[in-house]
């Protein structure tokens, strides 16, 4: 079930949202240690108790950040993929300082310029990264979710260029249906749910 093989330089993030405890345990037993969640409360339920037992766990927040949850986010997660607006960058930076936990962060890019999607407009990337760094955030890369029902390739290609333009070496992109394409365009972190776990249980 967890037999996905990827190039050595690519990190597999197993997206465990909406999965059962049984399947999550099976993933741990299969040796997976990097997991992605998009909701804080569910992530706490899945992982809070496991953190002390599996000391090499790496938890990635891949979903929207709410300002009233940042303290919980900084306490639980090890990496944040969804820094997507100035207000949240400010609150996150403050919280990381308070907890003295300086987590690596990805800036989420609204690569399709979709009005309903969160993320920084591609044209604003450089200025936003500078703003985040001024606040003290450790920006390591860019993340995106390309528009659904479109060929993802041109979006992955734009993300690769955007990362190059900003001297960032890490790219979080690619999901179950398009991770191979994403890797071809330089993804270093793929976020895979259904392809690993089967259909979501809940």
Ligand X SMILES: *Cc1c(COP(=O)(O)O)cnc(C)c1O
- Residue 135 or 194 having the CB closest to ligand X: 194
Length of the chain: 202
- Residue 123 or 148 having the CB closest to ligand X: 148
- Residue 14 or 168 having the CB closest to ligand X: 14
Q: How far is the CB of 191 from ligand X (least distance, A)?
A: 4
- Which residues bind to ligand X, rule: CB under 6 A? 15, 17, 38, 62-63, 145, 175-176, 191-195
> Which residues lie closer than 8 Å to 57 by C-beta, 6 or more apart?
33, 34, 35, 47, 50, 51, 78
Q: How far is the CB of 187 from ligand X (least distance, A)?
A: 12
- What is the four-CA torsion angle of 195, 197, 201, 202, rounded to 10 degrees? -80
Q: Which residue is nearest to ligand X (CB)?
A: 193
Q: How far is the CB of 18 from ligand X (least distance, A)?
A: 8
Q: How far is the CB of 43 from ligand X (least distance, A)?
A: 12
The SS3 of residue 27 is helix
Q: How far is the CB of 69 from ligand X (least distance, A)?
A: 16
- Residue 94 or 104 having the CB closest to ligand X: 104
- Residue 127 or 195 having the CB closest to ligand X: 195
Query: 121 φ, ψ to 5°?
Result: -60, 140
Handedness of CA 178, 118, 159, 187 (dihedral sign): negative
R_g (Cα) of the chain, nearest Å: 16
């Amino acid at each position: 079930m967890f037999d996905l093989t990827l190039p050595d330089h690519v990190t597999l993030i197993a997206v465990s949202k909406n999965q059962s405890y049984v399947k999550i345990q099976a993933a741990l037993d299969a040796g997976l240690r990097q997991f992605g969640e998009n909701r804080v409360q569910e992530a706490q339920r899945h992982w809070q108790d496991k953190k002390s037992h599996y000391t090499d766990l790496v938890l990635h927040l891949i979903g929207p950040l709410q300002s009233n949850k940042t303290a919980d986010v900084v306490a639980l997660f090890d990496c944040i993929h969804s820094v997507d607006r100035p207000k949240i960058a400010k609150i996150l930076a403050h919280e990381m300082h308070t907890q003295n936990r300086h987590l690596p962060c990805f800036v989420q890019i609204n690569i399709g310029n979709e009005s309903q999607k969160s993320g920084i407009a591609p044209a604003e990337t450089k200025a936003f990264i500078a703003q985040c760094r001024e606040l003290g955030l450790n920006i390591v890369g860019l993340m995106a979710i390309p528009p659904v029902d479109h060929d993802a390739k041109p979006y992955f290609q734009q993300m690769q260029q955007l990362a190059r333009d900003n001297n960032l070496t890490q790219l979080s992109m690619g999901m179950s249906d398009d991770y191979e394409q994403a890797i071809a365009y330089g993804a270093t972190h793929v976020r895979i749910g259904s392809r690993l776990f089967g259909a979501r249980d809940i």
